[in-house]
Structure 1
Amino acid sequence: MKFTGTESYVAAPDLSVAVNAAVTLERPLLVKGEPGTGKTELARQVAQALDLPLIEWHVKSTTRAQQGLYEYDAVSRLRDSQLGDERVADVSNYIRRGKLWEAFAAPSRCVLLIDEVDKADIEFPNDLLQELDRMEFHVYETGETVRARQRPVVIITSNNEKELPDAFLRRCFFHYIGFPDEDVLRRIVEVHFPGLKPALLTAALTRFYEIRETPGLKKKPSTSEVLDWLKLLLAEDLSAEDLKRDAANALPKLHGALLKNEQDVQLFERLAFLERGRAR
């Protein structure tokens, strides 16, 4: 089965090609793009489209690669030995499986999401090279080797906060999710808000792209933010006329859904001040 998107996820043709190429090559798909462009959601939709179970590993700044394989709880074993617990005779009772182990041991093929890999230490990707390449790892405490029953579809996301090692990149199929053009964004909006009045949609998207293209903007609003904004516009029953830009106030209606820091709010306030000065 080929991935072409789902009823609730509009995939651009180049993204569909990337997913299917990674599946064919049996390589991890490394997906980059600005926050809010649907990288994490892609894995969920691929799992849905291919009818595969999904295992999610959300990486944090403190996450270590070993946690994805397994963790040995030596403290609990020591405590149980002091209490005379019979479980201490079997060290496997103190091995906690990680997300990679879950994916390798799954009875059927699955989708494994490694989300925001760039949040962790720079050595994190390198520490997973062999496991992702050979689809196996060794458990030193028990002496067993865990091998994948079936190679999972691995999707790795990155917000591009730090450079990833070349050796890691070499093992991945790479795709950058660019911000959608207006036609694709209209299709995305139609999925979430079917039947939206054309005049309101045109006015909203025109205003939205004006905001994104404003020089000096620190944080450009993303796809998820425009969807939140449209939801608020509908909740407030605003019209296309309400969204027109005027010299008195350059800030868009309900701008808190689009502008996420005080510098960008101040930028639009300065632009409004300059426009009022020119209008006099």
Structure 2
Amino acid sequence: MTSSEEKAKAKKEFEDVFPTLAEEFLTTIRSRSFPNECVEWLKKCIYHNVPGGKMNRGLSVIDTLEILKDGKVSSEELFKARVLGWCVEWLQAFFLVADDIMDASITRRGNPCWYKMKYFRQDPYYVDLLELFHEITLETEFGQLLDLVTAPEDDVDLNRFSMEKGIFPNSEVIGKIGTDIEDNKCSWCINQALLVATPEQRKLLDENYGKKNPENVSVIKEIYKQLDIEEKYKNYENESFIYLSELISQLDETFLKKEVFNSFMKKIYKRTK
């Protein structure tokens, strides 16, 4: 079996677990005597938002377990890893729904945007998992807060932007219609443009950034093109990959294998969806 066939098989086996988890959740809802309309609405919401992406986060849980155990994984361990992987995907779906609301996004994964689990309780690492999910939730919401307070749509001021605050979501590539320009977002692109723009270009950026009109957006995109922002990002991405690879190579494998990090980085490097 080729590497691509193995990946496809692993993904299919991971996907096959989702209906079981979804049905267990829906069974819990039914046991509370919710009207059938509510159950069907929740089912539609779950299937609309949770599956369908690249599932790198969830699949990385399984990859990490297999790496740490040198491939000697029992069927029970493998099933738990798939369940935990879906927990991560479920949490990510929640973040994406919240992100879409805050960004007033139009589509997600090719579909119109929408706007919500009990394994591991008997395991000794249950509390650790819980705390980790809470910590990641907190960090993510901090990021959302920074995203919003630096980009009030009714007060466009590019002077408040900086690379320390900037984020690079190449939205049109990673699966939703990009609205960073219209939404006055403190993105990596605008910060790079501000660093190298001529006085004339800076004036146009001030006059057109954060405006909903397609003509204003086109002006910003043309300046990005003039400043070769896309190529700058590709160089930045390559440099980051080299830097992170070097850090990973220096890890002490006494506690955690380097391949855990390499495996995940390979999934997101040069990502196009």
**TM-score bucket (shorter structure):** under 0.3
- The two structures have a TM-score, normalised by structure 2, of 0.27
Higher Cα Rg: structure 1 or 2? Answer: 1
Higher share in strand: 1
| Relative contact order, higher structure (CA 8 A, sep 6+) | 1
- The two structures have a TM-score, normalised by structure 1, of 0.26
